[in-house]
Amino acid sequence: MSDAFITVSDLSTHLGSDTRPIRAVDGISFEIKKGETFALLGESGCGKSMTALSLMRLLPVSGRIMSGEVRFRSQDLLKLSEAEMRGVRGGGMTMIFQEPMTSLNPVLTIGEQISEALRVHLGETGTTAREHVLDLLDAVRIPDPGKRIHEYPHQLSGGMKQRVMIAIALAGQPDLLIADEPTTALDVTIQAQVLDLMQQLQQQRGMAIFLITHDLGVVAEMADHIAVMYAGQIVEQAERETFFSNPSHPYSRKLFESLPTMAKRDQALYVIKGFVPSLQGRFEGCRFAPRCDHAMTVCHERPPTWHVAGRRQVLCHLYTRGEDVTRLNEPPITSTPVGCFSQTERESEPLLQVRALQVHFPIEAGLFKRTVGHVRAVDGVDMAIRNGRTLALVGESGCGKTTVGKSILQLIRPTGGSVRFDGAELTRLSHSELRRRRSDFQIIFQDPYSSMNPRMLVGDIVAEGMKVQSAGDTADKRRERVERQLQRVGISARSVARYPHEFSGGQRQRISIARALAVEPKLIICDEPTSALDVSVQAQILNLLQELQKEFGISYLFITHNMSVVSYIADEIAIMYLGRIVERGTVRDVLRSPQHPYTQALLSAVPTLDPEAQREVIRLQGDIPSPSNPPTGCYFHPRCPKSMDICRQRYPRRSPVNEHHYVDCHLYTVDEPNPVGIKS
């Protein structure tokens, strides 16, 4: 008898009309065992989330399950009435979603939302429910649960909101927890806490976890068994060690080759050609064949069948023709060298020089809006970027990274400090003088869709900056330049007459890059430009940025929390904490030999692709303090595992590790005179 908690057989889910349905899930089968973490891996649009919603029977209005069987606790969930399913949801199985803020009710307290789940599934009310709520909050490691029970979602950090979602999910004592991209929007330190919490709760309660993600590092950290999904189908299943030692499907292998690493710094990343196909039509052959380097004639003519070897299953024609499988082991022709600037160009005077930068936002209160304090979003930042170089700015959410970028561009006027760009002091320029200089520096936002006017055509969006800067003498010349920029970033010139919603996320990010390039800038600030992208699309964007830097000598300030991206694209790195930079240096120095305890904690929390690797994650206590009331002394000392008395008394001065590596920490200056404040 199977020990599976849930068995899915030939599940198919359609969306939209009956005449041309979107086959979001098209005949998938898998099982999840007791205490097992089953990971579903794949690109956006391949059907991962729709699979989870099908299991929970929470499909959108246009969705319908066409066939298959979902057996859970000996019941076929597809045959239950809606009233019977309500007893399963939240009780037998439950789900935590990718974005907790949109899943939590903003007008109910945390305690009320958890109590509701207890009342519905366990019948608990009053004092019993309150005690259980406190126990759940304590179980998910939310500090001071007696206080938090009365707070609203907006009063919590992103990591705390995700922990509340887990508490609500656990309230019904489920056997199966479905986690849909539970850490995508979280910093690496918070991600490590959430993953560790899920694993501990799984061990204590014996739950199975169905984990949906596109992050291979998270899969290596969490999963026992892995399924790879592509275009509505599962194309490979295997146990974790087997999968990571030898991924078998060509699509799985290409995902690994697309990952940025320090070892690939001198070459372009592999890009999976083309896009995930539309799921509206019927497929004659293998769905991956148009993008596969190993496709044969048979791949285009008929669907592949499963090749099964133990618990590994591969849906690929290569495994029904054994002589062709060896081609997968050939070194892939995946990359070309990425050129770099000469040493003379690299060692020129900085294009951007930032000194003692401060951005303080006033806190106003009372009828007359009197200033009662300040939010010290940026509190004394020094940095420099040379021509043709990339500086990565890394830190947890809320540390001030984006504010630094906007204040450099003078989109937010600094409270104090100096921003010298190409010899000009930007803080002293008037609005009209700044407008004339804006062609020299541009920004690429994290969410390209929200940064574009949905009512404007792509051609007008790209040309907008050119019109403001009077670039291009006539409308025809501007149009030619727009088409040239779009082609440069890999977008067809015919796209000028289309709207932003007609493009994929990766294409919209390319359009954002084209918009920034249209005015020929010397510096581009990239604010988390790849955080929401799949690894294959991320590879396209990183390659494009590298090529543009090589061709035009553009400098980048790359704001991110993705350490693998940093290791690939950046020349230097600055680690930021609560408005201040605590460590900076070359990427190789900082990533291979981190000195500041905060940097060490950040790097220890980054998941590794080696499932056998033993790493010790440094757990930081609590959350980042409020910038409106920073701690005395070193801002990091309340969370630092190496804190000393002097750390609570005064801020450390900057100490050199070597010629290109600096750290602000009393561990390296404790025996030297140290006046209060930041010293460069």
Helix/strand/coil for 668: helix
My answer on whether 242 and 387 are in the same domain is no
| Residue 441 exposure: Cα atoms within 13 Å on the Cβ side | 26
β-bridge partners, 524: 442, 556
Residue closest to 3 by CA, chosen among 34, 35, 38: 34
Q: Which residues does the chain have with pLDDT short of 70?
A: 1-2, 100-101, 158, 185, 321-348, 472-473, 532, 612-614, 670-680
CB 595 within 8 A of CB 665: yes
**Centroid of chain to Cα 456:** 28
- Residue where a domain stops, chosen among 182, 215, 246: 246
Structural domain contains residue 380: yes
Q: Could you tell me if 395 and 581 are in contact, meaning their C-beta atoms sit under 8 angstroms apart?
A: no
Q: Which two tokens stand for residue 327?
A: 């081609």
Provide the β-strand partners of residue 390: 556
Q: What SS3 state is found at 210?
A: strand
Instruction: Give the residue carrying structure tokens 């066409």.
Output: 66
Listed residue (669, 668, 677, 670) closest to 593, CA to CA: 668
Strands 225-230, 37-41: parallel, antiparallel or unpaired by DSSP?
parallel
DSSP state of 415: S
Neighbours of 637 (CB within 10 A): 21
Report the CATH number at residue 39.
3.40.50.300
Nearest to 186 by CA among 174, 200, 203, 198: 198
Residue at 107 is within a domain: no
AA identity, residue 679: K
Q: Is residue 101 part of a domain?
A: no
How is residue 283 written in tokens?
């497929």
The pLDDT of residue 321 is 60
Residue 469 counted as domain residue: no
pTM (2 decimals)?
0.84
Q: Are strands 225-230 and 22-33 parallel, antiparallel or unpaired?
A: unpaired
Give yes or no for a contact between 32 and 50, defined as CB atoms under 8 angstroms apart.
no
Signed CA dihedral, 598, 603, 606, 610: sign only: negative
- Could you say which of 226, 246, 266 is where a domain stops? 246
Q: Do residues 36 and 180 both lie within one domain?
A: yes
Burial 663-673 (b: 16+ CB within 10 A, else e): bbbbbbbeeee
The answer for residues whose C-beta is within 8 angstroms of residue 655's C-beta and 6 or more apart is 662, 663, 664, 665, 668, 669
Specify the number of domains making up the chain: 2
Cβ neighbours of residue 230 under 8 Å, at least 6 residues apart? 42, 43, 46, 251, 276, 287, 288
C-alpha 109: how far from its chain's center? 28
Residue with tokens 């991962």: 48
Closest CA to 653 of 394, 380, 398: 380
Residue 306 to residues 236, 246, 248, 417, Cα–Cα distance (Å):
9, 17, 12, 63
Domain of 74 in residue numbering reads as 4-92+172-246
Q: Which SS3 state, helix, strand or coil, does residue 98 take?
A: coil
For residues 533 and 509, the answer to whether their CB atoms sit within 8 Å is: yes
For residue 384, the model assigns a pLDDT of: 96
Question: Phi/psi at 181 (nearest 5 deg)?
Answer: 45, 55
Instruction: Please tell me the predicted confidence (pLDDT) of residue 446.
Output: 77
Structural domain includes residue 109: no
Domain membership of residue 303 (yes or no) is: no
What would you measure as the largest C-alpha separation in the chain, in angstroms? 81
With tokens 């590794």, the residue in question is 608
Kind plus residue range of the DSSP H or E element containing 217:
helix 216-222
Q: How many CA atoms are closer than 13 Å to the CA of 521, on its beta-carbon side?
A: 26
Residue with tokens 């541009």: 442
Phi, psi values for residue 85, rounded to 5°: -65, -30
272 occurs within a structural domain = no
126 dihedral zone (left: phi>0; alpha: psi -120 to 50; beta): left
Q: Is 314 among the domain residues?
A: no
Domain termination site, one of 246, 269, 295: 246
